[in-house]
Amino acid sequence: AQSVTQPDIHITVSEGASLELRCNYSYGATPYLFWYVQSPGQGLQLLLKYFSGDTLVQGIKGFEAEFKRSQSSFNLRKPSVHWSDAAEYFCAVGVRNNNDMRFGAGTRLTVKP
C-alpha cells in the first residue's frame, strides 16, 4: 500500500517569509497527490492536487506544489506567508482505480508577526 511522510511536525515562519512544507511518498507507480489544510476546529480543505501532466501545480490561497518523481516528493510552497495561513497541513497520496487514500501525520504551521 502507498504511504506518505511529512518529516516536519511543526514549522514556524515569520509573516511575509517564504514557506516550504515537505512531503515524501512511497508507491510503485505514479500516485495521485494532494495537499489539504485544516484550520483549528475546522474540517479539511483541499489546497491543490496532482493527477498527471504539468508537475508544478497551482492551488488556492497562493500555494503551489511540485511533483518530483526522482525524489518521490510533493513539497508545498508559498512565496509569502500570511498570518491566516497558520494551520495544520496534510499531504495525502491516493492511487488510480483505488479509493484508499493515505494521509501524512501533518505539519503544524505557526506564523510569527
Partner 1 sequence: DTAVSQTPKYLVTQMGNDKSIKCEQNLGHDTMYWYKQDSKKFLKIMFSYNNKELIINETVPNRFSPKSPDKAHLNLHINSLELGDSAVYFCASSQDAGTQYFGPGTRLLVL
Residues binding partner 1 (CB under 8 A): 32, 34, 36, 38, 42-46, 49, 88, 90, 94-103, 105-106, 108
The smaller minimum CB distance to partner 1, of residues 15 and 59, is found at 59
To the nearest whole angstrom, how small is the minimum distance from the Cβ of residue 28 to partner 1? Answer: 16
CB of 88 to partner 1, least distance (A): 6
The minimum distance between CB 67 and partner 1, in angstroms, equals 16
Which residue's CB is nearer to partner 1, number 18 or number 30? 30
Residue 18: CB minimum distance to partner 1, A: 24
**DSSP-assigned states of every residue in 25-51:** EE-SSPPEEEEEEE-TT--EEEEEEE-
Neighbour-count burial of 74, counting CB atoms closer than 10 A to its CB (0-12 exposed, 13-18 middle, 19+ buried): buried
| Coil vs helix vs strand at 81 | coil
For the chain, the helix, strand and coil percentages under 3-state DSSP, each to the nearest 5? 10, 55, 35
- Residue 15 or 44 having the CB closest to partner 1: 44
